[in-house]
Structure 1
């Protein structure tokens, strides 16, 4: 969670040493007993330990052990993120509301010259701004969320101009990546509502900035398929394949990832034409290169199901789970496997219970167990 500071970020979320004499925490051996540094919180986030993060951060905030304003704000960001991951969106929204205006002077480094003598700018983490836009959508207020996302996009673009005017190339790169991230979010939300025209405009704008992004061009092809422009999709997919043959992928993907992307694009064309056998062949090539290609595995299983080979379809997904247990964390794959169980077995409830119990041992806190439909 990076701050918006105009200066390079050198501070960590470590608590200042002089806070150890605080009577509120004197009962503990050290501050590490009640809170964690950012590296630890980020490690917990990577492992999906959101309940642990929530417990530790809530404890630190309640004991007032965070001595610097930006420490407190960063920890609140982790709390809101954890609540969001746990689908406790109403609580996350209340936490956000308690922060009030992000543009307030209380969130500016220069408001605390005695603590940050050489820093200026906002200390609000970008993640917090993004959550501010995301959570209304999760609460069913889609338009409010979209408005906030577009406002965030404008904010990011203003930051890019500001950094460019100061020749801060490293900062420009950071904010440009954030711009792409927000545009990806917008594309995903509009795609979910089948607003394909808006999606096309966003994707084409992104491609115009980077003509050598094979993932983006592939996504364009996917959207073209959604609106029935099969020839346009084939053209986009062909463009990606040509990039592979010419070695023109801008280093965004490894060779295996690039080749699998091309195979998956071909498979989509076959799927539209209901040539499931050819689609399976393309997915097999992907899996042979990378046995953890969850998209290829999931789609191969669906193709086999369409070919009325339900037994082999189930085996594909079960074998994938045996090879790579973390595959169980892909909710789409689990949903499809459970649907196949329902079609194939009379005692599907017992089978799904066994699967659900196994998943519970490996899944992170934010895994949606309802996907097993028990």
Structure 2
């Protein structure tokens, strides 16, 4: 059974559109349509659309080609077709080449400078080697991407571009969390703590980052350190402004619940998660972990109801592999005819899930 410590942060790109002041389709062929398909998780449709656009020679501008390539690589990655994603990336030159600079084409992009490479393409360039088992190459590229992001932050700060700095700061957090995730999977806790503390050195009152530090401390067995971090997140983060009031209060409740779970005080943990759910019925971490606590209290019937209720109320949010794996495990513990129940669940998932959902998680 898998618990969840926090909601994954909205990952700052899925595909970055650099032309915020220009109509989407004015810069790239049918970009709005691609983004709509991505938002709906229609990754196979994206692959088909890219293939047709290439076959019909609809991509005329340099930016068209690099943007469609990025969407195609992302779609292959979402569908776990990593070799095909790698082939897309292999067709790209050095991402910092002048070939991908707007100023190289002044007649096509008058008065526009900078890179046309979406941030997500740089991220995929680092991620794909890891997915193909080439961990060291991927880690090296992730650290290279982190250096790139921090250079951008420094440049934007020197030019007093505050809005742009905020975007790149979010990307810094995203990349650091990617790196931490890979180090955590190999129990390299010292590196993780160092990386998180480096982020906190520049934003010491961010409740999300302080909480992330607490989650890492919990995994190292440092319960007292985690408690101190969670308390700091609650006290110092109150007026930070990086989260809405509801997001902040739910973060505090989830942090308290985690400490209770570690201490096996599941009744108190359930109470904290219930407060989260009342406040925000899309808080899937709270739904998932409340159900686990009820299961640990040997209340399988209610734990199943909690997860089924989450899937019924907010299917587009609740439909993730961790929650479904936990629900199927509970079915196996609770019912003799669990195979039939899981098949019914699988049929429902097939109708509503995005293309990248891993249907094997139902174990039917």
| TM-score normalised according to structure 1 size | 0.88
Once the two structures are TM-superposed, the CA of residue 167 in structure 1 deviates from its matched residue by 4.0
* Residue 345, structure 1, aligned to residue 335, structure 2: yes
SS at match of 1:121: coil
* 1:180-211 per-position Cα deviation (integer Å, ceiling 9, x unaligned): 22112112222222211111111111111112
- The reply on whether 1:37 has 2:33 as its aligned counterpart is no
Whole-Å separation in 2 of the counterparts to 1:284 and 1:15: 46
Counterpart for residue 203 of structure 1: 196
Determine the C-alpha separation between the residues in 2 that align with 1:242 and 1:177: 22
Q: CA deviation at 1:176?
A: 2.7
**What does residue 358 of structure 2 align with?**
368
Match of 1:265 among 243, 255, 261: 255
CA change 1:97–1:265 in 2 (3 A) is same
Larger displacement relative to structure 2 (104-113 or 256-265): 104-113
Maintained 8 Å contact 2:284/2:318: no
Deviation, 1:8, is 7.6
Cα offset for 1:15?
7.6
Q: How many Å apart are 1:131 and its aligned residue? A: 0.6
CA distance 1:173–1:278, shift in 2 (3 Å): closer
For structure 1, list consecutive stretches of 5 or more residues without a partner in the other structure. Answer: 17-35
Which range moves more in the overlay, 118-127 or 336-345?
A: 118-127
Counterpart of 1:324?
Answer: 314
Instruction: Select the structure with the greater relative contact order (CA < 8 A; seq sep ≥ 6).
Output: 2
Structure 1 residues 373, 213: CA separation in 2 closer, same or farther (over 3 Å shift)?
same
Give the equivalent residue in structure 2 for 1:233.
226
Corresponding residue of 1:355? 345
Aligned ranges for residues 65-144 of structure 1 at < 5 Å?
A: 65-144=58-137
Q: How many equivalent pairs are there?
A: 350
Partner SS, residue 346 of structure 1:
coil
Deviations 1:146-188 (A, max 9, x none): 1000011112222233334444444333333322221121122
RMSD: 2.0
Paired with 1:251 and 1:105, the residues of 2 have a C-alpha distance of: 39
Give the drift of 1:130: 0.7
Pair 1:214-2:207 in alignment: yes
| 1:133, distance to aligned residue in structure 2 (A) | 0.4
| TM-score of the two chains, using structure 2 as the length reference | 0.90
Mapped to 2, the partners of 1:93 and 1:168 lie a distance apart of 34
Counterpart pick for 1:63 among 40, 56, 60:
56
**Which residue of structure 1 aligns with residue 165 of structure 2?**
172
Q: CA 1:355 to 1:163, structure 2 compared with 1: closer, same or farther past 3 Å?
A: same
What is the match of residue 179 of structure 2? 186
CA distance in 1 between partners of 2:146 and 2:309 (Å): 42
**Which shows bigger deviation, 174-183 or 337-346?**
174-183
Partner Cα distance (1:240, 1:130) in 2: 29
1:3–1:124 contact (8 Å) kept in structure 2: no
Q: SS where residue 209 of structure 1 aligns?
A: coil
Higher mean C-alpha displacement, 129-138 vs 176-185: 176-185
Which one has the largest radius of gyration?
A: 1
Q: Deviations along 1:13-43, whole A, 9 cap, x unmatched?
A: 4489xxxxxxxxxxxxxxxxxxx62122112
